[in-house]
Amino acid sequence: MGPIGIPGLILILIIALVIFGPKKLPEIGKAAGQTLKEFKKSAKDLTEDVTEEIKDAKDLTQGKDNK
């Protein structure tokens, strides 16, 4: 299954415009953008936490090897 492409994207936008109307569509886009922004922030925070835990674990194991 390949990417949607321009014709598919235009069809989706037309259907969304018919279903939600021109006044509601910008609000839905804004909400989707904010949701995506929060998801990206959460994923970044989780990645940083995991990286920090791995670094701490490596430091602990290296400390035990030196003793």
Structure pTM?
Answer: 0.59
pLDDT given at position 35: 96
- The domain locations on the chain are 26-67
Structural tokens at position 66: 């030196």
Structural tokens at position 64: 């035990």
Q: Is the pLDDT of residue 1 over 70?
A: no
Rounded CA-CA distance 62/42 in Å is: 30
Give tens-digit pLDDT for 21-66: 989 988 988 999 999 999 999 999 999 999 999 999 888 888 765 5
